[in-house]
Chains A and B, each alone.
Chain A
Amino acid sequence: MYSFDFLRPTTLAEAAEALARDEALALGGGQTLIPTLKQRLASPSVLVSLGAIAEMKGICRNDAGQICIGGGTTHATVAAELAESYPAMAALAGQIGDPAVRNRGTIGGSLANNDPAACYPAGVLGSKSLIVTNTREIAVDDFFQGMFTTDLESGEIITEVRVAVPDRANYQKFVQPASRFAMVGVFVAQYSDGVRVAVTGASQDGVFRWTEAEAALSAHFDASALDGLSVAADDLIADLHGSAEYRAHLIKVMTARAVKAA
């Protein structure tokens, strides 16, 4: 690590002010950022921990029936508290990393980071979601903008994620053997007005919606609806762990499994 200042504000306003400093970085659970700092791949002047901001933590339901997850809520809390109200999202959170990662890592940090192999981007894009920040609300379809890139301005803080609960949903994660992030992860959610299918792990552009599958499944929510479909391998990731063709194949397999399990 390089040396840096460390702040731990207790209110959003203080945090926003601190993050306005040059080269400031927010610290969520640190499960991505701390390893990055240790490898000297980032050199913030000041690290602003969001961990003491009570208003960013916890889960509730709003009047519209949406689930509101505080941006500083850990994966473990989501896994435990959504088990009844949104089991697919709870299961997704429960499969992230290991207990230590789940007890530290936060949904806000995961979404802000937008790792192309992360799970939450699939769950949140696969649900009808709204990303709430300290300055505005962002429709989830506008939020993810390619791997490690989002619509967030520098210093902007994800304070809450609002998700509408679908009629049924499921997340299928095929793990990369070493990191156990998603090599391909597919989140399928059926709402009364249509199906959403979000795919993570596979694309060079990060999480994306598989619109052909959404259309087919909206017409007929059954794995057989996918039969004629295929995903083009062109923009998919090819690496040590699998070719683009393999990932294209897995997308279809995992989507079918998610539909069956939903």
Chain B
Amino acid sequence: MPKDHGVGASSKRREDIRFLTGRGRYTDDVNQFGQTYAVFARSDVAHANIRSIDTSAAEAMPGVVAIFTGEDFKDVGGNPAGWLINSRNGEPMREPKRPVLAHGKVRHVGDAYAAVIAETYAQARDAVEAIVVDFEELPALVDMAASLADTTVRVHDELPDNQCFDWGWIEDNRTKVDEAIRNAPHVTTLHLVNNRLVPNAMEPRASIGEYDPGTGDYKLTTTSQNPHLTRLLVAAFVMGIPEHKLTVIAPDVGGGFGSKIYHYGEEALVLAAARKLGRPVKWTAERNESFLTDAHGRDHVTKIELACEKDGTFIAFRTETMANVGAYLSNFSTATPTFLHGTLMAGNYKVPNVYVNVKAVFTNTAPVDAYRGAGRPEATYSLERVIDKAARELGIDPVAIRRMNFIQPDQFPYTTPVGLQYDVGNYDATMDKLLEISDAAGFEARRAEAASRGMLRGLGINSYIEACGIAPSHLVGQLGARVGLFDAATVRVNATGNISVMTGAHSHGQGHETAFAQVVAGMLGIPEASVDIVHGDTSKIPFGMGSYGSRSLAVCGSAIVKATDKIIAKAKKIAAHMLEASDGDIELKDGRFSVAGTDKGLDWGAVCLSAYVPHNYPLTELEPGLEETAFYDPANFTYPSGAYACEVEVDPDTGKVKICSFAAADDFGNIVNPMIVDGQVHGGIGQGIGQALLEAAAYDDMGQLVSGSFMDYAMPRADDLPFYQVDHSCQTPCTHNPLGVKGCGEAGAIGSPPAVVNAVIDALQRGGMAHVTHIDMPLSPARVWAAMQG
């Protein structure tokens, strides 16, 4: 019987009532009295010196109340990088200033160099067109290798080689790994591109700045995945506003996928403009601004080598990667290609030697940062593609080669050569489950049937592991993080026994309002409907770090458990007093306190009421009220893992790939809401298939984003995607958080691209095209057809 309540139940997502009936309240739905509108003047060239900006005509336009340029912000701070990476030679990474508005130079198409504030949106937009800018155009750097080689063209004048850092992980192992590869009986080499993606959240970014001259208080309503982090960045680093004078509210947010973790200049601009005008200032991105200025994802160019014995035993992995950071460092852009990527390069495998080199490169393109999976999809793709290639070269079954190298259940905790300690897992179990749910045994019959229709059918299988629940502050601190990555929750029990839980995690589609309520209601034995989750407002919630990196349940959920434990402990003391028993004898079950071994008891509500109506209350021993806050910082990352299978058919006449089936067997540890987990996996796989087959953020040589609209940027649509077989019954609970959960938000996007590409290569190989060993994503019909031609 499926559970219908508490942890383990597929409770319906309560937030969907407002989302599906159009009652969500997003930033653009918010309008304030006296509001003005901001529109940005953005560069239409990729790289230019700004000779002059003439705003006089624009200032004279109807409705214009203010115009800002980079000059107005030259004395405030830049938008900082949140993670310090040191190069192999010990030098710290280069951190050129990222200004609120471009000053002196524009560095990518879409870079904002001025902003108009007007009474109406249309007036602001008209006035932006009247701004006259004189650009001295410079050559655009788009290709990473060219950027590194070119010392005459510089994205930032002070950086002669356009390099941010040259990172080795782990540098001390380099010679040992080189030697292992030199002496190996077999080495498989693969050059691959992890394609650049545009996040394309359904809701574009938007911000409203407000300032109260009477109190000096600021308010920023904005599309953020982490309001406290945004507050810290914009207040302390950029604007110099005392943190306590700024409230940041992230109301309903329509998807982020990473792109709304970061602080962007538009947020600082609306605050600065609100201060100057004493009126609210609103900005909402148009879709083309989202394409040009939301932090993009991925964009790695990698060479990976796998050294192994002839029998397939892995000896070493070595990778050289160029990672595009775009024109400026976005807040976590330096962590993504390094500590979220390099540390995962041992995969699920007991491989003694791993070395990773990553060069981060500035180019005249939009900033690149974490996007669903962030670094881990890049690692998984490189590993699982080169393993497939090696298996083929050695004539070993792709499942067998993985199994023979899997870390075994009795080897945990397992320390990898790239610095992580996996606490628990069972990779054969998910592989077994995968083969079962994907009916791998029936593949040959399906292939033969497809062949009778002239179609080339292929099967791709891979494993993945990710480091989630980001993250232990002590670890990330050693690795260069400039922030802590704990989380926090306050559980406030009202006098009538219902509960508001204020969380540092922010829900922008994940279903926290449902899943978190299940956790608390389950612990207390009260109805889920009695628990509400409050998030997204720094004036209401404790200081938390928001949602990304599949961290919400693992980290914030653990803080919720800790706070609820405190509530239970205190409530037991109150109950003990009321029942005239000792608190050690009080049990809480199904919402009722009882004295062990007796029939004496009290309902949850009676105890809560007495906490707030303390007429007969142990005031000398206990404070009135029932409200507790807990902060939680994990001991380690969590390590979700699993195995994915994809079956495709390739049309040999056109190169078109059809996904016939997709199966995912994941180990997420314990599951709070199976339906929400299914949905997270579905969404992740959808994005992974999008990356594998469809999506490409393509710049031309001039630095123009060729796929700058949905006319050319191919988002996956429902009919591009199959029905999924998703299973999460293989559960090795996380050993170090109280819920035993690992996180499920990114797995689908991490595990799926190699499964798709492996399947296409398999189809072509089985179809007799032995020369096709790799095709770079996205595997568009044209690319597959071109590869088939040889």
Contact = CB atoms under 8 A, between A and B. Distances in A.
B717 to A, nearest CB: 8
B731 interface: no
B780 interface: yes
Contacts of B288: 39
Interface in A220-262: 239-243, 246, 249-250, 253
Contact of B781 (A2, A177, A178, A239): A177
Chain A interface, DSSP helix/strand/loop, else mixed:
loop
Interface string B267-301: 00000000000000000000010000000000000
Contact of A250 (B654, B693, B694): B654
Nearest to A253: B653
A254 to B, nearest CB: 9
B711 A249 contact: no
B654 A240 contact: no
Interface in A115-130: none
Residue of A1, A177, A178, A246 contacting most chain B CB atoms (<10 Å): A177
Interface string A159-191: 000000000000000100111000000000000
Interface centre among B129, B711, B713 (most CB of A within 10 A): B711
A46 B525 CA distance: 66
B786 A240 contact: no
Given A178-B707, A179-B712, A246-B785, A240 B653 contact: no
Contacts of B712: 178-179, 240-241
B785 A240 contact: no
A94 to B, nearest CB: 15
B698 A240 contact: yes
B596 interface: no
Contacts of B710: 178-179
Nearest to A174: B654
A30 B694 CA distance: 28
Nearest to B716: A177
Nearest to A184: B654
A55 B714 CA distance: 39
Contacts of B786: 243, 246
B459 interface: no
A2 B127 CA distance: 12
B334 to A, nearest CB: 29
Interface string A202-219: 000000000000000000
A225 B696 CA distance: 38
Given A250-B654, A253-B654, A243 B714 contact: no
Contacts of A250: 654
Interface string B602-636: 00000000000000000000000000000000000
A241 B696 CA distance: 10
A250 B713 CA distance: 21
Interface residues of A, number: 18
B782 interface: yes
B200 to A, nearest CB: 12
Interface string B697-713: 01000000011001111
A240 B706 contact: yes
Contact of B711 (A2, A3, A178, A243): A178
Chain B: interface residue count, which band?
20 to 34
A40 B129 CA distance: 11
A178 B129 CA distance: 30
B781 A242 contact: yes
B119 to A, nearest CB: 15
Given A246-B785, A249-B785, A179 B707 contact: no
Contact of B782 (A40, A179, A242, A253): A242
Contacts of B129: 40
Contact of B714 (A178, A242, A253): A178
B256 to A, nearest CB: 23
Interface in A1-21: 1-3
A253 B656 CA distance: 13
Contacts of B785: 246, 249
Interface in B672-716: 693-694, 696, 698, 706-707, 710-715
Nearest to B711: A179
For the residues of B in contact with A, the DSSP-based class is loop
Contacts of A174: 654, 656, 781
Contact of A178 (B126, B653, B654, B713): B713
B785 to A, nearest CB: 6
Interface string B124-166: 0010010000000000000000000000000000000000000
A33 to B, nearest CB: 15
Contacts of A1: 122
A240 B707 contact: yes
B237 to A, nearest CB: 35
A177 to B, nearest CB: 4
Contacts of A253: 653-654
A240 B696 CA distance: 9
Contacts of B706: 239-240
A239 B712 CA distance: 10
Given A240-B707, A246-B785, A249-B785, A177 B780 contact: yes
A166 B538 CA distance: 69
Interface string B647-661: 000000110100000
A177 B698 CA distance: 14
A187 B785 CA distance: 23
Interface string A87-102: 0000000000000000
Nearest to A39: B288
A218 to B, nearest CB: 24
B654 A177 contact: no
Contacts of A179: 710-712
A241 B654 CA distance: 13
Residue of B711, B780, B782, B785 contacting most chain A CB atoms (<10 Å): B782
Contact of B694 (A177, A242, A243): A177
B308 to A, nearest CB: 37
Interface in B745-790: 780-782, 785-786
A200 to B, nearest CB: 16
Interface in B249-281: none
B715 to A, nearest CB: 8
A235 to B, nearest CB: 18
B612 to A, nearest CB: 54
Given A177-B694, A253-B653, A246 B782 contact: yes
Contacts of A241: 712, 780, 782
Contacts of A249: 785
A40 B44 CA distance: 15
Contacts of A40: 129
A239 B698 CA distance: 11
Nearest to B126: A2
A177 B653 contact: no
Nearest to B656: A174
A239 to B, nearest CB: 8
A253 B698 CA distance: 28
Contacts of B698: 240
Contacts of B122: 1, 3
B91 to A, nearest CB: 38
A246 B715 CA distance: 22
A174 B651 CA distance: 12
Contacts of A3: 122
A127 B715 CA distance: 34
Interface string B554-579: 00000000000000000000000000
B755 to A, nearest CB: 20
12 contacts: A2-B126, A174-B654, A177-B694, A177-B780, A178-B710, A240-B696, A240-B698, A242-B780, A242-B781, A243-B782, A246-B782, A246-B785
User: Which 10 pairs show the lowest CB-CB distances between chains A and B?
Assistant: A242-B782, A178-B714, A177-B714, A179-B711, A246-B782, A253-B653, A178-B712, A240-B706, A240-B698, A177-B694
Given A242-B781, A242-B782, A249-B785, 16 more contacts: A2-B126, A3-B122, A40-B129, A177-B780, A178-B694, A178-B713, A178-B714, A178-B715, A179-B710, A179-B711, A240-B696, A241-B712, A241-B780, A241-B782, A242-B780, A243-B782
